[in-house]
Amino acid sequence: MRNLIFLAATVLTLAACSSDKAPPPQAQTPAQKTVFDTQIKALQKAKDVQKTVDQQKADADKKLEDGGG
């Protein structure tokens, strides 16, 4: 019973402190360049190359299975 009263009081306190209006959305600023941009680009390029290699491997495996090899 004591926990229920504490919970109810906490909920009512938090509800009383909340504002009715949401703040207006702020316009998004364009991404700023950082010192990590070149590293991020290199990482993305590596991921793209890995996708290509994985696709080629899947194609080769399928050809082997279809060919009975």
**Per-residue pLDDT tens listing for the chain (69 residues):** 888 898 888 877 777 666 667 667 788 777 788 889 999 999 999 999 999 999 999 999 999 999 865
Flag whether 16 is in a domain: no
Distance of CA 65 to the CA centre of its chain: 36
Q: Is residue 59 part of a domain?
A: yes
Question: Is 9 contained in some domain?
Answer: no
Closest CA to 12 of 24, 23, 4, 21: 4
Question: In the numeric block, which tokens belong to residue 53?
Answer: 């290699």
Domain presence at residue 18: no
Q: How many separate domains does the chain show?
A: 1
Q: Distance between the two ends of the chain, CA-based, in angstroms?
A: 72
Residues spanned by the domain of 48: 33-69
Task: Please check whether residue 10 lies inside any domain of the structure.
Answer: no
Q: Is residue 5 part of a domain?
A: no
